Amino acid sequence: MSTIKTALIQQTCTDNRQQTMDRTASAIAHAARSGATLIVLQELHCSLYFCQQEQVECFDLAEPIPGPSTAFFGDLARQHQVVLVTSLFEKRAPGLYHNTAVVLEKDGSIAGTYRKMHIPDDPGFYEKFYFTPGDLGFEPVQTSVGRLGVLVCWDQWYPEAARLMALAGADLLLYPTAIGWAPTDTDAEKQRQRDAWITIQRSHAIANGLPVISVNRTGREADPANPSSGIDFWGSSFACGPQGEFLAQASTDREETLLVDIDLQRSEDVRRIWPFLRDRRIDAYDDILLRYRDR
């Protein structure tokens, strides 16, 4: 399959879990009716982004994999005959939790999982309290539409993660995401942050000769401990080709479903004229494994 009709579903979330999931189900149905065979959802799409505070009660949101959410979304994948990329709060064992992407095949089965490797710990994004870093490595998930290099949010800032997915044979890179501005950020700072977020992911496309799909949530979510604060998720979900060219881009502040044709043959064409993988100096990169080169 050289061309994949792909849907990126950018949504707001509410504190009503079932209502949020039902709205996502409606968006999935719409995308499937429009011809999508690959549908990508945003990070932790079943609930509000609970990591704004460190609250032990939020662990109640976690669930096993397989579990209720994989059953719910697996039924949708089977019903609509689509490959579906979901993002769930995984309870692996008591006291052991992950931020996990689950890829569901067209028959509703679990094609593979990826546990988020890079875990942030910043004001409003206290993920280290909740998530253990992933231990499944950077392995693409084989599906009927191609080998999906699924990464999650904070992973998108690390060229090493994208490169390792590319070296493992990924056909495209996917980033379910939850990122936004603090209400106190100036307009200039907001612009810099959003531009940096877009630029780094486009660079992964260029450096690896692969399409990139990034799906972010949108809308304001208040901080539970300080309702006047919170996060303004900046949306801007996008798809780009292997030269970083925009194929589709959503707004900052509206729910949208983007439909885009991803041409996998272009990766072959681009890598022939820009053979970055050929010219890598793998004999000279040992220091990349160091935390820092002290002088």
Tell me how crowded residue 5 is: count the other CB atoms within 10 A of its CB.
Answer: 17
143 vs 105: CA distance, rounded Å: 7
DSSP labels for 234-258? E---EEE-TTS-EEEE--SSS-EEE
Q: Residue 102 forms beta bridges with which residues?
A: 86, 113
Q: Is 116 among the residues known to form the active site? A: yes
Nearest to 178 by CA among 122, 234, 130, 230: 234
69 vs 20: CA distance, rounded Å: 12
Tell me which of 105, 153, 221, 240 is the catalytic residue: 153
Distance of CA 197 to the CA centre of its chain: 13
Nearest to 143 by CA among 183, 98, 106, 96: 106
Contact 38, 85 (CB under 8 A): yes
Tokens 């309702």 map to which residue?
A: 227
Give the angle 229-230-234 at the CA atoms, nearest 5°.
130
Region class of 46: left (phi > 0), else alpha (psi between -120 and 50), else beta: alpha
Tell me which of 13, 43, 90, 221 is the catalytic residue: 43
Q: Is 43 among the residues known to form the active site? A: yes
Q: Is 13 among the residues known to form the active site? A: no
- Which residues are catalytic, by number? 43, 116, 153
